[in-house]
Structure 1
Amino acid sequence: MAHIDLGVDEKQFPGITGPMRFRPETAKPLNELAEVLLRAPHSLPAGERELIAAYVSGRNDCNFCCASHSAFAAVQLDEGYTLVDQVRADLDTAPVSAKLRALLRIAGAVQVSGRQVTTELVEAARAEGATDVEIHDTVLIAAAFCMFNRYVDGLGTFAPEGRDAYAESARRVVEVGYGNAIPMD
């Protein structure tokens, strides 16, 4: 049960969806940020950006965000959950491009502390072809998901178990985006 009364059935509006319905005026900019970072046109495919969000959320032990963004990544990656699981289990051996691996290392550093991002990590990403925009957005995705994770877990929201629980929200986010995926009325 959430730490505060969100005014919704937590099983119908789990994780971040309950707090967003509770405070739609804060939900709007948060959804806009997620939309820009994870879905807007970009040199990194949306599935890879969602994978960064899932990776950081998993490292933060945020069950809802990890499960939901793993689902969002899986439906947008050719390798689906197989790749998501491999990245989350062992980044060093996961079958991702050297560029994505370098960006995920930056995201992992941000998850610990922004000051853990070193010149060496950035140069390694550049050496693998990462652009400044990709590096910037990786840092911002990781930082934003640290915030989203703490928002969800700090309010003690409900996280459904099992991948099937996230399939419909994955379909909605891919189809209509973040701003329209959560019914606000």
Structure 2
Amino acid sequence: MDRHAPPCGRDGDVIAHIDLGIDERAHPGIRGPMRFRPETAKPLNALAEALLRAPHPTLTPGERELIAAYVSGLNECRFCCATHAAFAAAQLPSGMPLVDRVLRDPVDAEVGDKLRALLRIAEAVRRSGRDVTAELVAAAREAGATDLEIHDTVLIAAAFCMYNRYVDGLGTLVPDDPVVYEKAAERIVRHGYVES
């Protein structure tokens, strides 16, 4: 058995490392731990709302979700990658084809130079905050990124390293059905993180 795979129950269903006291099929991924500890869920959801959905002068919600999905993919967090890929696709004009290209290789994806430079910063943060170099920041500025965009990219990447480890560290259920993520995207686009 893969040491990174969560344990399986007698009926073959994946179960979390701890008893969340819920039906995980109804509350997969991060939703289970958030129901388990609503007092920590509130600030975590507020942070996601501020980073990914709050008004921003230049980065769209779709672009910010794309950064979250990209970092989650690099961290091999299947739940967060699939979730935020669906959220990004629902809010970007080019939808899932663009998201898939970015997740495979942002160098070849049809995104602007600025977003590509911000994704490079996010990738560096994902490895270590100290991997964000003056050269990466200068390249992002040269591509048109503002200090606010650089700041928010670093914070999104750092926050998603935490969210990814929260989900995977508890071994929560990861649905395989893409419809689960599409429905979650509809809910988030309509209501946001705070009310979901």
**Which TM class, normalised by the smaller chain length?**
over 0.9
**Alpha-carbon offset, residue 168 of structure 1:** 1.1
Alignment of 1:13 with 2:10, yes or no, is: no
Match of 1:98 among 113, 118, 134: 113
Residue identity matched to 2:39: E
| Cα distance in 2, alignment partners of residues 162 and 128 from structure 1 | 37
- Aligned partner of 1:136 in structure 2 is 151
| Cα distance in 1, alignment partners of residues 177 and 72 from structure 2 | 16
| Cα distance in 2, alignment partners of residues 159 and 180 from structure 1 | 22
- Aligned partner of 2:87 in structure 1 is 72
**Alpha-carbon offset, residue 90 of structure 1:** 1.1
| Cα distance in 2, alignment partners of residues 38 and 87 from structure 1 | 18
**Alpha-carbon offset, residue 91 of structure 1:** 1.1
| Unmatched runs of 5 consecutive residues or more in structure 2 | 1-14
| Cα distance in 2, alignment partners of residues 153 and 29 from structure 1 | 19
SS of 2:119's partner is: helix
Match of 2:182 among 167, 172, 180: 167
| Unmatched runs of 5 consecutive residues or more in structure 1 | none
| Cα distance in 2, alignment partners of residues 2 and 175 from structure 1 | 29
Kindly provide the CA deviation profile for residues 8-61 of structure 1, in whole angstroms up to 9, marking residues without a partner as x: 111100000000000000000000000000000111000000000000000000
- Aligned partner of 1:33 in structure 2 is 47
Q: Which has the higher helix share?
A: 1
TM-score (norm 1): 0.97
| Cα distance in 2, alignment partners of residues 139 and 5 from structure 1 | 33
| Cα distance in 1, alignment partners of residues 165 and 41 from structure 2 | 15
| Cα distance in 2, alignment partners of residues 94 and 166 from structure 1 | 22
Match of 2:67 among 33, 49, 52: 52
Return the index of the structure with the highest Cα Rg. 2
Percent of counterpart pairs with the same letter? 69
Residue identity matched to 1:62: C
Match of 1:23 among 11, 17, 37: 37
TM-score (norm 2): 0.91
**Alpha-carbon offset, residue 162 of structure 1:** 3.0
Query: Across the two proteins, how many residue pairs are aligned to each other?
Result: 181
Kindly provide the CA deviation profile for residues 134-164 of structure 1, in whole angstroms up to 9, marking residues without a partner as x: 0000000000000000000000000101321
| Cα distance in 2, alignment partners of residues 14 and 84 from structure 1 | 22
**Alpha-carbon offset, residue 167 of structure 1:** 1.1
Residue identity matched to 2:75: N
Shift >4 Å, 4+ stretches = none
